Amino acid sequence: MPPSDAPGDIRDLCSYCSKNVGRDNLRKCSRCKLTRYCSKDCQISAWRLHKSSCNATARMLANLASHPVQSSLNDDLTKWLNIWKPLLHKTAPIAFNLTNSPPDCLATQSIVMQIERRPNPPSRAQSFRMIEGGVISNADWLDHMHEEEYKPEHIEMFTNDNRGDDTIRIIVLCGREEDGLTRILYFSLRDKGDSYRRLPPHTAEELAEAWADNMMAAIEEGSTNPAGILSR
């Protein structure tokens, strides 16, 4: 079974050092308004890795200011992602089958989640539903971006965004590239994923194969309890 000591709510954690200081003691990045740090020192230390996504988010927010429909979608998506980030942080590592994968797999692969807005949702946690998802190589994702004619600056940003072997990248697609939204989540693993790599090979493979289906079911039900995804 995967480790049970993953943080309960990453909104209470510093995005750099991962200390649990409570969200009231965290300061938001003044540009992207999304990433939070416990101190100025952590914010400065994180800037090298945070810079590209921060600038991209700032540009996105500026563009959305003149598109009220997309701006509203972005606000709803942010609220929805904030609900599901803790579960994703706990369960995303199992999707990579770390026990049976190369040590650099987190640097060469990403998770892609395709979602859509759910009509008349019974709760905020069910505002969107997951249609499909899984792990894809970064090379294949770049091919997809070229095929779908993503903007050159988006392709360049993805190409140059290398965060090393202990950071998970989740690409969340909501709608089409031209009129939808693409959000990228990053989760750093404090132990570089070693606790997940200690899973028995057969267990790790089974959990990885079931991850997308289990995640879709959890989102459909609005259940953020990780039990159904972290164990069999």
| Global pTM value | 0.79
What pLDDT score does 221 carry?
A: 93
Residues in the chain: 232
What pLDDT score does 136 carry?
A: 97
Assess if residue 163 is contained within a domain.
yes
The candidate with the shortest Cα–Cα distance to 93, out of 196, 230, 194, 231, is 196
Assess if residue 162 is contained within a domain.
yes
What pLDDT score does 47 carry?
A: 85
Assess if residue 188 is contained within a domain.
yes
The candidate with the shortest Cα–Cα distance to 110, out of 134, 88, 83, 85, is 134
Contact (Cβ atoms closer than 8 angstroms) between residue 14 and residue 42? yes
The candidate with the shortest Cα–Cα distance to 193, out of 114, 92, 44, 61, is 92
> How many domains does the chain fold into?
1
Task: Calculate the CA 132 to chain-centre distance.
Answer: 15
What percent of the residues of the chain are helix, what percent strand, and what percent coil, each to the nearest 5? 50, 20, 30
Alpha helix (H) residue ranges in the chain? 40-64, 68-95, 105-108, 138-147, 152-160, 194-197, 201-221, 227-230
What pLDDT score does 72 carry?
A: 83
Assess if residue 55 is contained within a domain.
no
Domain of residue 212, residue span: 68-230
Assess if residue 164 is contained within a domain.
yes
Residues 6+ apart with CB under 8 A from 223: none
Assess if residue 115 is contained within a domain.
yes
Assess if residue 193 is contained within a domain.
yes
Assess if residue 9 is contained within a domain.
no
How far apart CA 123 and CA 220 sit, in angstroms, is: 10
What pLDDT score does 114 carry?
A: 96
What pLDDT score does 6 carry?
A: 40
Q: Spell out the per-residue pLDDT of the chain, length 232, in tens.
A: 554 434 445 667 888 887 888 888 898 888 777 788 999 998 888 887 777 677 777 766 666 666 666 778 888 998 999 899 889 988 999 999 999 999 999 999 999 999 999 999 999 999 999 999 999 999 999 999 999 888 888 898 888 888 888 889 999 999 765 567 888 898 888 788 899 999 999 999 999 999 999 999 999 999 888 877 776 4
Contact (Cβ atoms closer than 8 angstroms) between residue 199 and residue 103? no
The residues with which 217 forms a beta bridge, in sequence order, are none
